[in-house]
Structure 1
Amino acid sequence: MSMFENLDIEFMIETMPLLLKATQMTLFLAIVSLVIAFVLGLIIAAIRYFNIKVLSQIAKFYVSFFRGTPLIVQLFLIYFGVFTMYPMLTQLPGTVAAIVTLSLNSAAYMSETIRAAFESVDRGQIEAALSLCMTKLQYMRRIVLPQSMRVALPSLFNSLIDLIKGTSIAFTIGVSEMMAMGIYEGSRQFNYFEIYFDIAIIYYIMSIILGFLQKKLEYKMSKY
């Protein structure tokens, strides 16, 4: 209890509005990365689901690499490696590198979730669609996607929560998101514990809100 009794509550209250303002960048990084990751994950899942030659092998390696290496290592490889190889890319802000890294990392996990959801659809329905002369695009759009998205929804929401938490590494390359703001404010009075406690509270609240939205959406989709 003595640890919490020594907390500088006034400092925590004063810095909370600054941290909340910085969440705009945190949410921006997460939402943009989510959209890109979902589209890329859908494409990779389709490539592996239909087992397209050559592309399927490349997709397997991509998923294996991004799931098998730490996120911060991927960020440094892209920002200090790939971006420095081409003069045009060196002019881009760290925000772009953070979005690219988060998107590629999340897409690897999402693609596996979506592929598993695709495979959960009964093959008998697909065979029936083919017997009606439906194309692959038609039966994917009318049969597989509507059913598989209901299965994949919980894991996709988890990916969004992971994305929001993953944005915290963006401060390492100078992106002014919530973690960067917290470190700056904490260094002014060396109240690091208080500032990290504030940040943990904000992340936790965002996770609770997303969990609530997930349950609501799952309920509506199950009724549909």
Structure 2
Amino acid sequence: MKKFDLPYFLNLLPLMIKYVTVTFKMSILSLGFGLFLAIIIALIVHMKVKVMYPIAKMWVSFFRGTPLIAQLFFLYFGLVQIFPSLKGIDAFTAVVIGLSFNASAYMAETLRAAIGSVDKGQMEACLSVGMSYMQAMRRIILPQAARVAIPPLSNSFIDIIKGSSLAFTLGVTEIMAVAQSEGASSYRFLESFTAVILLYWIIISIFSYIQKILEKKMNESY
């Protein structure tokens, strides 16, 4: 029975930390694109826009109801057979798109619920003084909804970071890919995956701490 190789484990950490930037880049891009889509979807659902409403509901249902890894494989390996022009897409881009689509479904529901939590009388008051629907949303409703949505949206970002660990299945070299590669080459899987799980734990703990500070500051401002 092999003993835990501490020096090997300690040597792995700097190697993995070099690829933390890849994980962050994927996660931040996915959050940005996903949030943009989520706002559009939430508004479509809230306004019950004809034609777009059932499409938005189906989008949310599909991406919430299927595994992320299946979505990534479908996007990267499956759609190419239908749309040959997608052959030029690289794995990093495919992961960002997949994570964005997946996150948008969850964040759209978060935003929809947050918008719904704002008193309907405020929208009516805005419309009565001559504001358009979009002006009322931008100036009055969304700022209040943001306070309610920040905690679950922060959790969505944490889920995106964890979901980015699946990028190695498409060939992207990031933290998880390094752990898999090093473990396979040295047969030191325990040390490799202990390092990767510890690194993810530290990253998530830091963002969870930032989330708590952000929530506290937002509560103090109201």
Kindly indicate whether residue 94 of structure 2 is the aligned counterpart of residue 97 of structure 1.
Answer: yes
Distance 1:152 1:91 in 2: 37
CA distance in 2, matches of 1:134, 1:173: 48
What's 2:181 paired with? 184
Partner of residue 128 from structure 2, selected from 127, 131, 134: 131
Report the TM-score when normalising by structure 1: 0.96
Cα shift at 1:85: 3.1
Structure 1 residue runs without a partner (length 5+): none
Structure 1 residue corresponding to 2:191, chosen from 191, 194, 201: 194
Deviation of 1:171 after TM superposition, in Å, equals 0.6
The answer to whether structure 1 residue 38 and structure 2 residue 35 are counterparts is yes
1:189, CA displacement in angstroms? 1.2
Q: 1:216 aligns to what?
A: 213
Does 2:89 match 1:83?
A: no
Aligned-pair identity (%)? 45
The count of aligned residue pairs is: 221
User: Following the alignment from structure 1 to structure 2, what is the Cα–Cα distance between the partners of residues 132 and 125?
Assistant: 11
Query: Comparing 213-222 with 158-167, which one deviates more in the overlay?
Result: 213-222
CA deviations on 1:163-202 (whole Å, 9 max, x unpaired) are 0000111111111111111111111210111111111111
> Does residue 1:51 correspond to 2:48, yes or no?
yes
Q: Does 1:147 align with 2:144?
A: yes
Q: Does 1:203 align with 2:203?
A: no
Cα distance between partner residues in 2 of 1:84 and 1:124: 51
Which runs of 5 or more residues in structure 2 are unaligned? none
